[in-house]
Every structure is written in structure tokens, then in C-alpha cells.
Amino acid sequence: MNALATGTADAIKIRSLVKRFGAFTAVKDVNISVPAGSFLVLVGPSGCGKSTLLRMLAGLESPSEGEIAFVGQTVSSGAGGVIADAGRRNAGLVFQSYALWPHMTVAGNIAWPLKVAKWPRDKREQRVREVLSLLGIDMLAERYPAEISGGQQQRVAIARTIAPQPSILLFDEPLSNLDAKLRIEMRSELMRIHRATGATSVYVTHDQVEAMTMATHVAVLNNGRVEQFGKPIDLLRNPQTTFVATFLGTPPANLIPVHRVGDGLVFGDLVLAPASLAAGRDEAQLLYRAEDVSVGAVAGVPTLMARFAEAAPIAGRTMVTAMIGDLRITAMADSYFTATPGETIPLSFIRTPDAVFAATGERIHQ
Amino acid sequence: MIFLSISAPSGSRLLRSGFLLPAILVAIVAILVVAPLLRILFTTLTPEGIAAWKAVLVSPLSTNLWWRPLLNTMILGFSVASGCLLIGGFLAWLVVLTDVPGRRFLGLMASLPYMIPSFAAALAWGTLFRNSRLGGSAGFFETSGLAIPDWLAWGLIPTAIVLIAHYYSLAYTIIAAALSSVGADLVEAGQMAGAKRPRIFFGIILPVVTPALIAAASLTFAGAVANFAAPALLGLPVRMQTLSTRLFGMIETGQNERGFVLALLLIAVSALFLWLSDRIVSGRKAFITVTGKGGRTKRFPLGAWRWPLFAVAVVIGLLTTVLPVLVLAASSLAPQSGALFSNWTLHFWIGEGGGEMAQGQAGIFRNPVLIDAIWNTIRLGLVVAFTTMLLGLALAYTIVQRRGSLLATVLSQLAFLPLLVPSIAFAAAYIALFGAPIGPLPSLYGTFALLVIAASAHNLPFAVQSGRSVLGQISADIEESARLTGAGLIRRLFAIIFPLVIRGLFAGAILVFVKMVRDLSLVVLLFTATSPVLSMVAYRYAAEGFMQFANAITLVILVVCLAASFVAHSLQNRVQKWKAQ
């Protein structure tokens, strides 16, 4: 199972994968494949099945149907269960809880998997020193996990996982227990390690920012299904469902429900777009990015009045949230802006909608 | 800190009470714990005491007074500790780490024997295995034609078996708690490293729970060393002495100084081992598991072994819980103690005295002494439960409030001291202190008050521990948020604090109650005819050979204990409805 041996096969190929727990289906018909060296991010809200998918990749759960192949070799399948068990698929997993063995020192934690893999002592010690310095934790070698901080435990967990040089690295929400500043640092650190090891990484997170910044490939999961799979920028530019459209991107994009009146698509009394965009449907949803909605009246574009809710300055501009009835709209104001909550402010739709979706959530292509 | 935390108006009065409570507590703990121990020590430093030391340690008598009992005690301690680790560990592994069927049921069974007094198992053993070597009626097996060798009827081996049957559930509880703290992630991380099941078990699981194993071993060791009932019932008839039975014998025959010397030595032995085990597991090696997502545990599939292992666990449970109770019940109905299942009669329960049976003694429910003992026992249990929890709460509050101060350290160290002292030695210390009048105070020996004081003192470590966990239920935030609404102290106490702690208080109080009702080793020295308690009456009957009476009373004790647990359980659900079951 050497990554170099089979040049053309995908590093990870997931085919028609299904996982059921009793009557509950956690993962439904997932198909994903990525080439060697990719950084695949599985992103979705909690309970979407992303961790179950990762555990199947790790060999800790067996699939109910479908199969998983690493570099052309089937490692798990619905028919055969776990074919190559967790230790024999050349993959390493970084746990959300870090799962450091509390009775071993930092060096002991890193060395143990190598001992299990029967590395000779001198090679083992050399490798431990190597990964300790790669992660910048040389001075912690003789400490116990309980004696180091959360961020340091995180580094130890990563060091332990990469020490046996797995060709596939699996990460289960590894940064979710860190504070905001440390999380950003570790993000870059993880990408550096990913490049340094040359492994194929699979990374599970509920944080779309992590997905957008780290991934070469993103799979957005919802209710056990892959909503959309592709390059991060493609997902952002070309969302195929309203779920993807609203889940990805900062600040969140707006979805405005409209219906057809005559040859216009109307929200309230306001005509927002020509009816042709809805491709004959009576109901549709229009996607406007925050930067497509401006605070203040602009001549010649649709403008409506909303109740101001809150403002947050971002990079020299201000992100403004306002309410129309129960609908929450995010708009951008130039420079600094504020108002009294409840105050009525005008919002202008300065560009045409970025995408149009059916009322049921799927994209309407023009 | 105390100045800020008390926000009531009359500052000076509260300022004083801020120091008053700790001062009272220090005094109480000093009288309850330190004074008896110092007194017993000083008593043995008088000329008579020195003579007693010599007699016990360096004299022709010392083989019988000290070395042989010590040897027996150590053999008992080590065999019980290893037996408990094996059985308790096996059950804990089975229940926590495998997919054995009926895991909840097995867990419940494994935790039951500790609720049954150890003399119940000893009496049941005697009823079954007693042979006719020592005269008196033979047990069930010998009567049924099965010759029982002496080693199986009396002495070390049956005592060890009976004690293991009692204490393994303590080991089970400790080990099971530790095993369920080994998160699935730790195991799966091992699997990801490619380790096989044995490697994961010996390389990860076992080392992580080692502190718990050592704790379980030392606690069961201390329990076995301190136990009085089992060696007294099964060992004394063949003159097998342990330190605790020797100590009892000395004091009962009026050789108080020698008894006190033995008590001090027993304390030393017990404390030494507890201290050693504490040494081993403290420091850097006292690793706390770095836990993550909600304590999921990994259950290994047993495959074909599921049902056979389930059967083994059920048999262990039946032999140590159901069987002794059945034997006691049958025996209390059988006129011939060997023929358990023939001619059943209720004579031993409600029969009138004066007849042929039981040398004319009336059934236990017609015996005024016994009726007295029942009320005394329940009264003792209730009073001790109340005083213990009150004292525990006050101590825990002071210790938590003044964390880090010298006062808190001293209080918590002193409160945990009784843990090192076997209860029979503790009772001896109380005799040393209160056996004679102190100044104007009359001698308390033989009074109900002395029982209450000694029992409260002996339960202090448990009381402080449960007091702390009870107080842990109320975070500072909860209390402060109530204070910000403007509610006064009394209002807060009843609206916020009381509802939150009531469950913990109940649980602690019931445990103390049960401990008192089934206790023998503490009351055996402090008991007199004016303050009879059930366990003591049962022991007396057994010692005089009236097995049916002893067994019947033991059943009464069991029923009281079980009823208390049941009441506790249903009350808890009623008072804290918001806690999901």
C-alpha cells in the first residue's frame, strides 16, 4: 500500500458509501475521490455525518454499503466490512480530544506507535526527535500530557500521528478545543505539516472558514448527504444548493424569497429581478452576497426599508444586519456606520442576484 | 475572602461568627479524632502500658499475642486484596469494556454484596460448611452426608473467602469507575497505531487504571485487616486469631493496656499499607485522563465467549448475594440447623418461649431485648447519619472557603485521619478516652451517646468527602446570581442551595445509615446491655450457638438496609424531578 506504487489511482476513493446505525442513516450514498497530496475538508453542521465518514476512513467503523479504496486498494466495503483494519491502512488520525495516553510522556506517546510498528530503537529515537522539532515541542519530551497546555497537547497529538509517516492523515475537528488566536496559528501550522509530509489529508470541521482556507477539495455535508463537492472557490462561486450558498462565505450571503408577478420577481411590493431568471417557476429564492446589498438609497436599483439590528466593522467597512419581518439581511456600508436598533434604514440591491434557487433549494441554471 | 462573601448587615457579629465556626470545628475534630488517639497512646506509656508493650512484643507471650495474629492478619489482607482484584477486576472489565449481555444487571449484582454485612456471609458459610468437630450441630453439607474437612469449615480459608465475597464489590466499584474513564479515543488511538487487543490492554488500558487498582487493593486490604465479624465467627472457634479478634479478646477480658497496644499496632499496620499505596500513586504518576467528548467507552466484542462469561458473572453474583440470603432465610426457619429444608417453623421469628425448642427461648419478635435493639439500631443509624452529614457539610464548607490556609489543611488532614484507623481500634481508643470519668463529666462507657460520638468520628472522612461533593453541586456563579436578585441568605438557602444539595445529602446520609446498621466492628467494644444494637445481638447469638436466631436477626438487618436504599432511591427521584433518570 505504497502511495508511489500506483501512480494513477486516486489516493482516496469513496464509492456509494452508506452507514446505518439501526434505523438511522448517518451517511447516505457518498461519492468522493481525491488525488494524492490533496487536502480534503469535510464540512457541515453538527450531526451531518462527517465524523462518521471520517471514522469509516480510519477503519474504526465499517460501512453498511459501498466501498472505500486507498490508492486503488479496497480497505473497507459494505460486503467485506473493515478489510484492512485501522492499524494496517497506513493512515493516522488526530482525535478531537487528542486522545493522548495519560500514562506516557510526550516522547513516549510519540514513540509507542513506532514500537508497535516494530521500528528499531535508534530509528525510533531519531524519528521522535525529528517530529518533536518539526512541531517545535522539543522541550516537552519528558512531560506527561496532564502537565502541558491544550495547545501543546494538540501539537503532541499531531506529532504522534505523523511519526509513523502515514500516507493519509485524518483530522477530526482538531482545532475545536483551542482559543481563537491559537486556532488561526495552528491552521497555518497544519497546512505546513501537510505540505512537509506530502500525505493526503482528510479534515473534518464545522467551521466553514477552516474549510475555505485550508482545503484543496471541500465536501459540504448535510443530513448525511454530500450537498456539493469541489474546489473551495467553485463552491463559493457556484453553489448548487441554498444550503451550500448560505453555509459557506463570510459574511453570510442573503437568500430572498420571491414570487412571480407579471414579468417580475417580487419581494413584498418590490420588483427585484426579471421573471426569466426563475425559468418559468412561480416561486424562487434569490442569492445576494452581502457586498451586493448596500446601506442607503441608490438611484436606479431596487431599494427597500428594513429595521436596523446590529453593525460590525470589518476591514474598513461595516457589516450591517437588518430585519424585514422575520427575514434577516446582511448588507455592507462604506466606512463606519451605526444606527439605533429598530430604526428604519434603506437597503439597496446594487447588483443582480448572484444565483437563483428554486423554493425547494436546488439551483436554477440559466 | 470571608469578609467579602458575607454580605449581611451586622458586620461585627458576623465577623466573629466567621471565626467562631472554624474554631468550633477545630475543637470538635480535636475531641473526636485527636483526643482518643492521643489518649490511647499515652495510656500505653504509663508503667502498666510499658509492661503491656513488653508482654505483646518481647515476651514468651508475644508469639500468641502479636506475631501469630499479625501473620494471620497479613495472610488475610493479601489474599483478600488479590482475590478482590481478580474478581472485582474481572467483573469490571466484563461490564465496562466488553459487549457482554445484561451489562446493567451484572453491574447491579456486582455492587450488591457491599450492602450485605460481612457477617451475613460468614453466618451463611457456617450454616452450610460447619462440621461437627467442635461439637454443636453440624452444617447443611455434613448433615447431608458430605464430610467437610476442617480447613474448609474453620479458619483462614473460609474467612478469606467470606471477606472476598464481601469486599470484591468495593474493588469492582473502584475499578469499573476507572475503566469507564478510559475514553474510546485512547483505545482507538492505539488501534490506529496498529496495536492488537492484548497490546492495547496491557499497553494502554492497564497502565491507565493502575492507580485505581492500587487504590482498590489497599482499601480491600485495609478492610480485611480491620474486619472483626468474619474471623471472629469462623476463626475464633478454632483459635485462629487476627489482630482485631485479639484486640477484642484483650479488652473483653479486662486486659485493657494490652488491648490498647494491639490497637496501636493494628493502626500502624493498616496505616502503613494505605500510606504506601498512596505514595505509589501520587506525584507525577497520578495522571488524570485528559478527557474529551462525553466519555464514550470502547466495548470489545467477546464473540463466542459472551454467554459463557455472562454465566460466570451471574454465578459469582448469585453465590455472593442471593445464596447467602437464601441460606440465612432457610436456616431461620429450620429447627435443626443442619437440615435446612425440613420441618420449617416460624418459631425462631415469632414463637413463644418456654417450649422444647431453642432451650426455651422465644422468637426474636417476642424478645424484648431484640425489639429494643431494632429501635436502638435505627435510632443510632438516623442520629449518626444526621450528625455525620451536618458535621461533614460544615467541615467541607470551611475547608473549601479557606482553601490554601493552614486551618483548611489542618482540618482536612485531621478529618481524614480516621480513614487510617480500623474501626475496632478506634473503638478501643474511645474506651481509653471515655471509659473513665473525665473531670466532672461521667464515664460515657456503655451509653448511647458514646456510640453516636464514636460512629460520627469514624465516619468523618466519608462525611467530609460527600460534603465536598455536595457543595460542588453549587457553583459560585449560581449562588452569586441568586444574591444579585437581592434574595437574602435564608431565602437563598431554601430556594437555591437546599434543592441542589438535597440529593447528595440524602445519598450520603443513607450510606452512613446503612454502614451503621450493618456495622459490627465498631460497636462490638462499645456495646453494653443498656444499648443493644442488632448486629451485636446477632453476634452474641451466633457465639452462643443459636444460629437460627443470629441468622434471623441478620435478615432483619438486611431488610432494614435494603429498605433504606429503596427509600433513598424513591425519595431522590421525587425531590429532584429535573434530573433525568
- The pLDDT > 90 percentage for chain B reads 17
Enumerate the residues of chain B whose CB falls inside 8 A of the CB of residue A153. 290
Q: How far apart are CA A47 and CA A13, in angstroms?
A: 23
- For the question of an ipTM over 0.85, the answer is no
* Top-ranked range on mean pLDDT: pick from A203-207, B107-111, B149-153: A203-207
The domain boundary residue, chosen from A210, A229, A246 = A246
Centre a 10 Å sphere on the Cβ of residue A84 and count the other Cβ atoms it contains: 18
pLDDT of B394 above 80: yes
- Cα-Cα-Cα-Cα dihedral sign, residues B247, B248, B251, B255: negative
Query: Would you say residue A365 lies in a domain?
Result: no
Q: What is the mean pLDDT of chain B?
A: 82
Rounded distance between C-alpha atoms, residue B96 and residue A150, angstroms: 28
Q: Does one domain contain both A317 and A273? A: yes
pLDDT above 70 (res B13)? no
Q: Which helix (H) or strand (E) holds A183?
A: helix A180-197
**A76 and chain B: CB distance < 8 Å anywhere?**
no
Q: Is the pLDDT of residue B10 over 70?
A: no
Please tell me the distance from the alpha carbon of residue B81 to that of residue B216, in angstroms, as a whole number: 8
Nearest chain A CA: its distance from B206 CA (Å): 10
> Using CB atoms, which residue from A97, A116, A177 is nearest to B194?
A116
Rounded Cα–Cα distance for residues A310 and A330 (Å): 10
Residues A238 and A256 in one domain: no
The verdict on a CB contact (< 8 Å) between B288 and A102 is yes
Sheet holding A270-274, edge to edge: A270-274, A264-267, A254-261, A283-288, A355-358
| Nearest CA-CA partner of B366 in B375, B353, B377 | B353
Q: What was the pLDDT predicted at B331?
A: 84
pLDDT at A133: 92
Alpha helix (H) residue ranges in B287-416: 306-317, 323-333, 347-350, 368-401, 406-416
Task: Name B435's Cβ contacts closer than 8 Å, sequence gap at least 6.
Answer: B256, B443, B445
Q: Is residue A341 part of a domain?
A: yes
- pLDDT in the model for residue B508: 84
| A7 falls within a domain | no
Residue B4 pLDDT > 50: no
Whether A1 is covered by a domain: the verdict is: no
Q: Which domain holds residue A333?
A: 251-358
Count of beta carbons in the 10 Å neighbourhood of residue A157: 26
Give me the pLDDT at residue A364, please.
87
In chain B, what are the domains?
Answer: 40-338 (1.10.3720.10), 367-581 (1.10.3720.10)
- A90 and A230 share one domain: yes
Q: Which residues of A touch B189 (CB under 8 A)?
A: 93, 95, 99-101, 160
Q: Bigger pLDDT: A8 or B430?
A: B430
Q: Are B133 and B151 in contact (CB under 8 A)?
A: no
- What pLDDT sits at residue A307? 94
Interface test with A, best of B192, B282, B284 (most A CBs within 10 A): B192
A118/A204 same-domain check: yes
- Statement to judge: residues A218 and A276 lie in one domain: no
pLDDT at A25: 92
- Confidence band (pLDDT; 50, 70, 90) for B432? confident
Q: DSSP of B176-214, one letter per residue?
A: HHHHHTS-HHHHHHHHHTT--HHHHIIIIIHHHHHHHHH
Q: What is the mean pLDDT of each run of 10 residues along chain A (366 residues)?
A: 51 93 92 93 91 91 92 88 82 89 90 91 94 92 89 92 92 87 88 90 92 92 93 92 90 90 87 86 91 89 92 89 92 88 92 90 84
For the cut 80, the answer to whether the pLDDT of residue B135 exceeds it is no
- Cell readout for B164 is 472476598
Query: Which pLDDT score is estimated for B81?
Result: 95
- Which pLDDT score, from 0 to 100, does residue B575 have? 57
Last residue of a domain, one of A197, A222, A246: A246
| CATH number of A278's domain | 2.40.50.140
Q: How many domains does chain A have?
A: 2
DSSP letter at B31 equals I
Which residue is listed with cell 430572498? A256
Residue B150 has pLDDT above 90, yes or no: no
Alpha-carbon span B210 to B289, nearest angstrom: 12
Q: Is residue A364 part of a domain?
A: no
Q: What is the predicted pLDDT for the residue at A14?
A: 94
B295-to-B62, B181, B270 alpha-carbon distances in Å: 54, 7, 35
Q: Point out which residues pair with A285 in neighbouring strands.
A: A257, A357
Residues A67 and A183 in one domain: yes
**Amino acid B573: pLDDT:** 62
First to last CA, chain A: 46
Query: Smallest Cβ distance to B284: which of A59, A112, A144?
Result: A144
> Who contacts B101 (Cβ-Cβ below 8 Å, separation ≥6)?
B306, B307, B310
Q: Among A193, A213, A246, where does a domain finish?
A: A246
pLDDT at residue B3, rounded to an integer: 38
φ/ψ of residue A325, rounded to 5: 60, -125
Cell (9 digits) for B495: 430556594
- Together in a domain, A225 and A112: yes
What integer pLDDT is reported at residue B7 of this predicted model? 40
Which residue numbers of B have CB closer than 8 Å to A's CBs?
183, 185-186, 188-195, 199, 203-204, 207-208, 210, 284-285, 287-293
A189 shares its domain with A303: no
Residues A227 and A327 in one domain: no
- High-pLDDT (> 70) share of chain B, %: 89
Q: Is the pLDDT of residue B35 over 50?
A: yes
Q: Is residue A3 part of a domain?
A: no
Q: Which of B201, B179, B231 is nearest to B75 (CA)?
A: B231
Chain A residues inside the 8 Å CB shell of B293:
96-97
Clarify whether residues A117 and A265 are in a common domain: no
Cβ atoms of residues B484 and B556 within 8 Å: no
Looking at the structure, tell me whether residues A192 and A225 fall in a common domain. Answer: yes
Look up residue B86 and give its amino acid.
Answer: L
CATH number for the domain spanning A191: value is 3.40.50.300
Report whether pLDDT(B197) > 80.
Answer: yes
Instruction: Provide mean pLDDT across the span B457-464.
Output: 88
Of A89-98, A319-328, B5-14, B380-389, minimum mean pLDDT range: B5-14
Reading the block at residue B132, the C-alpha cell is 461437627
Residue at A24 is within a domain? yes
Q: Are residues A196 and A265 in the same domain?
A: no
Higher-confidence residue of A51 and B289: namely A51
For the segment B262-266, the average pLDDT, to the nearest whole number, is 91
Phi, psi of A347 (to 5 degrees): -120, 135
Residue A192 or residue B478, greater confidence:
A192
pLDDT at residue number B409: 85
The pLDDT of residue B2: 36
**Does A6 map to a domain?**
no
Give Cβ neighbours of residue A304 (< 8 Å, ≥ 6 apart). Answer: A267, A268, A270, A324, A346, A347
